[in-house]
Homo-oligomer: A and B are copies of this chain.
Amino acid sequence: MVNYPNGKKHTTKDLVTKQQKHSKIEYGKRGMSFEEAIDKTNHYYITHHIAVIHKKPTPVQIVKVDYPMRSKAVIKEAYFKTPSTTDYNGIYRGRHIDFEAKETHNKTSFPLQNIHLHQIEHMERVAKQGGICFLLVHFSRLEEVYLLPFERLSVYWRRMTEGGRKSIALTEIKNDGILIPYEYQPRLDYLAALNLKDESEE
């Protein structure tokens, strides 16, 4: 039994456990969500003139807006819309970059239900135009992030649509993807992972 004096609800140890449950990546105790880690990385890329990659805003259907006197407009009724594209895109050394970031609590596979069909279709179109498309997968309990190129993702997606398994095994992701190590700056250097891939293919 643990007492919580002074209104404190958690000990430090509890907090860390809680954070892990909520998929925080622990970079030497610098707790941060997967999305925050990507945002920090993109910010690093921009400020260091490496690439210009942004997260798209969450698509929202706005129904009602109030314009109170002397203050800014307030959206009073709106609904979340299903995104028709991936969440991130931009440019890196002249190449168009387009990717989706997903996380799973699973320890042995990534469930494909995390991705929408129209996101696959979108990446397919972008890849055909010559863009670099991929998936970043965060296995939150393993504290591992992988970059899976779209060409491989689409193989597993097709396997599912043809009646095969509805997930990608971690072993498959380890084989086909690139592990992105946690670093201090940038947090998740996924573009370095892309370079690595290019070199190994040459």
Using a CB–CB cutoff of 8 Å, the interface residues on chain A facing chain B are: 46, 49, 51-52, 54, 56-60, 62, 72-81, 84-85, 89-96, 98, 122, 125-126, 128-131
Contact of A78 (CB < 8 Å), options: B78, B129, B131 = B78
Chain B residues near A79: list those with CB within 8 A: 72-75
The CA of A80 and the CA of B96, in the complex, are separated in Å by 28
* New contact pairs (6) apart from A46-B125, A52-B129, A95-B96, CB-CB < 8 Å: A51-B129, A52-B122, A60-B75, A76-B76, A93-B130, A94-B131
Shortest distance in angstroms between A79's beta carbon and chain B's nearest beta carbon?
Answer: 6
Q: A125-B46, A128-B49, A130-B91 are in contact. Are A76 and B77 (CB under 8 A)?
A: yes
Chain B residues near A92: list those with CB within 8 A: 129
Q: Is the pair B56, A58 in contact by a Cβ cutoff of 8 Å?
A: no
Q: Is the pair A85, B131 in contact by a Cβ cutoff of 8 Å?
A: no
Chain B residues near A84: list those with CB within 8 A: 54
